[in-house]
Amino acid sequence: MRSDILILDDNKSVLTALELLLQSEFDNVYTLNSPNNLISTIQRQNIDVILLDMNFKAGINSGNEGIYWLNQIQKYDPTISVIMITAYGDVELAVKAVKEGAFDFILKPWDNNKLISTIHASLKLRKSKIENASLLKTTRTLKQELKPSSQLLIGQSEPMKRVMEVVQKVADTDANIFIMGENGTGKELIAREIHCYSQRNKEVMLSVDMGAISETLFESELFGHVKGSFTDAKEERIGKFEAANKGTLFLDEIGNLPLSLQAKMLTTLQNRTIIKLGSNTQIPIDIRLISATNRDLNAMINDGLFREDLFYRINTITIELPPLRERGNDILLIAEFYLSKYANKYEKYGLKINQKAMQKLLKYKWPGNVRELQHTIEKAVILADDKVLNEDSFTLNDNITNLQGDIQNKTIEEMEKEMILASTHKEKGNMSAVAKKLGITRQTLYNKIKRYGI
C-alpha cells in the first residue's frame, strides 16, 4: 500500500535511518527535525501517516510535546494515522498517547519488520477513515437532496386551515398518520409537511407508490431480500423499511397492498422489526409511518380485502384532504404559483391571468384536483402568445366533467373508473398517453384497470 509519510524527530540520524528504510514503501517520504513546520507541511502535502517523536527538548522526557502535536494533527485532519516514537518505554505514556488518538507506539531502537507492519496497518485505518468520511458526506448530501423543496403547501381556505391545524398538532409525535383524499389533492405534500415539522426532519423521508409496484415485488420492495431468495436475487437488497430507518416512510396507495402481505406489515409495525425475504433474521427498525389512499378502506374491510387490525394500526390519526373544488380561492393562489413557476421555466416572464379566465378556473370542478390544475397552467404557459392569459388559454376537460355528471352523488372509485374510460377513449387506447393525462404511472393505470375490470 503506497502512500505518503512524514517523519518528525529531532535526531537527524533517526530521520536518515527511517528515510532509507521507508523510501521503498512510500511514494514520498518527508522529514522534519522540528515540529514548528508540522501543520504547514501537512497542509501542503497529502500525508497519510506521521511518525511522531514524543520529545523535542533536551532533558525533557514527559512526552507532553508529542501529545500536544498529536492533538494539533487531529484537529487539522483526524484521518491521518499517527504513530508515536520514543526512546523511553513508559507504558503509561503509551496508553495516554493511544487514548489521545495515536494509532500505536514504537520504541527506539525499533524492529524494522515490526515498524513496517505497524505502518501498513495504520494505512488501512487511514483508508477506512477516509471511506467513512466520504460515506458520511454522501449520506448527508443524499438526505439534503431527498428533503422536500421549501414550497410545500399553498392554501388559505378554511378546509386547508383545519388540515394544517391537525398537521401542526401531530407532526412532533411519532403517531402513525393515515391521509385520505382524491387523486391529485396533495397527500404526499401533507406527508412531507408532517415530516418537516417532526423530530425526524434531519433524516430521510422515503415515498413508495404502492400502486406502481408489481404484486410479485411487494415483499422485496418493502422488506428487502437476501441473495438467492428467488431466481433473480443475485445480491442482497435493502427494503424501504430498512432504508427509511430513523426517518419517515410514506406508503401511498396503501389500499393496493396484497392481502397476503398485510399480516407481515402488521407484524412489522407491532414488533418494529423486519425479516427480509429468504431470511429468518429479525432486523430492528425505527420509522414513522404515514399512509395514504384514495380508496374506501372501510368498504375494503367489509369486502375482506383489507385487514381491520392493520387499518387501526396505520390510522392513529386520520387526515382527510379536501378536493380542490371545495377550496374556493385556493384555486387562484395555486394557479398563480404554477404560473410563476412555468413562466420562469419557459422564459415567458410577466404572464398574467385575466378576470374572466380566473372565473373559468373557479367554476371548473377539477376532477384531477391540484395535479390537473398544475398541468393546465403549464400547458397554457407553453402555448401562450400574449402576456395576458384569457378564457381560451385554458383547455379544461369538460368531457370528463360531463361524463361524471353530478360528482357529489358518486364514489371516488366510480369517478376514477369513468375518468379512465373517458381518457382511454379520447387517447384511442394509448395507455402511455392516458397515464400521463391522468397524472399517474402506467403501472398504477394497469392496476386500476385490473381492479375496476375495465
Both 181 and 276 in a single domain? yes
pLDDT of residue 82: 93
Does residue 172 register a pLDDT over 80?
yes
Does residue 419 register a pLDDT over 50?
yes
Does residue 450 register a pLDDT over 80?
no
Label residues 430-445 b or e (16+ Cβ within 10 Å = b). eeeebbbbbbbeeebb
Q: Read off the CATH number of the domain in which 410 is found.
A: 1.10.10.60
Ordered DSSP codes for 111-126: PHHHHHHHHHHHHHHH
- Stretch 295-301: mean pLDDT: 89
Mean pLDDT in the chain?
86
> Which residue type, as a one-letter code, is found at position 384?
A
Instruction: Find the domain containing 123 and state its range.
Output: 4-141
How far is the C-alpha of 138 from the C-alpha of 146, rounded, in Å? 12
147 belongs to a structural domain: no
- Whole-model pTM above 0.85? no
Both 8 and 105 in a single domain? yes
Neighbours of 72 (CB within 10 A): 13
Phi, psi of 398 (to 5 degrees): -65, -25
CA-CA-CA-CA torsion sign (230, 233, 234, 235): negative
Does residue 328 register a pLDDT over 70?
yes
Q: Read off the CATH number of the domain in which 349 is found.
A: 1.10.8.60
Both 269 and 165 in a single domain? yes
| Cα–Cα nearest to 306, from 274, 250, 265, 248 | 265
Both 189 and 310 in a single domain? yes
Phi, psi of 96 (to 5 degrees): -60, -45
Does residue 59 register a pLDDT over 60?
no
Ordered DSSP codes for 205-262: EEEEEGGGS-GGGHHHHHHEE-TTSSTT--S-EE-HHHHTTTSEEEEETGGGS-HHHH
Phi, psi of 175 (to 5 degrees): -60, 140
C-alpha cell at 181: 383524499
Which of 303, 320, 337 finishes a domain?
320
In which residue are the cell numbers 373559468 written? 360
Domain count for the chain, please give it: 4
Both 212 and 308 in a single domain? yes
- Stretch 294-306: mean pLDDT: 90
Both 30 and 82 in a single domain? yes
252 belongs to a structural domain: yes
**Cβ neighbours for 92, distance < 8 A, ≥ 6 positions apart:** none
50 belongs to a structural domain: yes
Q: Read off the CATH number of the domain in which 309 is found.
A: 3.40.50.300
- Higher-pLDDT residue of 152, 406: 152
150 belongs to a structural domain: no
102 belongs to a structural domain: yes
Which of 81, 113, 141 finishes a domain?
141
Q: What percent of the chain has pLDDT over 90?
A: 48
CB 251 within 8 A of CB 211: no
Confidence of residue 138 (pLDDT cuts 50, 70, 90): low
Both 368 and 412 in a single domain? no
Confidence of residue 401 (pLDDT cuts 50, 70, 90): very low
How far is the C-alpha of 200 from the C-alpha of 173, rounded, in Å? 10
148 belongs to a structural domain: no
pLDDT of residue 360: 95
- Provide the H-helix boundaries in 147-200: 158-170, 187-197
| Cα–Cα nearest to 86, from 118, 49, 55, 122 | 55
Both 32 and 77 in a single domain? yes
Q: Read off the CATH number of the domain in which 79 is found.
A: 3.40.50.2300
Burial bucket for residue 55 (CB in 10 Å: 0-12, 13-18, 19+): buried
Half-sphere exposure of 66 (CA within 13 A, CB side): 32
By three-state DSSP, how is residue 282 classified? strand
pLDDT in tens, 215-247: 778 888 899 988 888 877 778 888 899 989 999
Both 212 and 133 in a single domain? no
pLDDT in tens, 78-121: 999 999 887 765 667 767 878 888 998 888 888 899 999 999 89
Which of 298, 320, 342 finishes a domain?
320
152 belongs to a structural domain: no
**Cβ neighbours for 342, distance < 8 A, ≥ 6 positions apart:** 348, 377, 378, 381, 382
Both 42 and 86 in a single domain? yes
332 belongs to a structural domain: yes
Both 165 and 301 in a single domain? yes
Does residue 346 register a pLDDT over 70?
yes
Both 202 and 282 in a single domain? yes
- Higher-pLDDT residue of 410, 431: 431
pLDDT of residue 235: 82
How far is the C-alpha of 64 from the C-alpha of 82, rounded, in Å? 15
Does residue 147 register a pLDDT over 60?
no
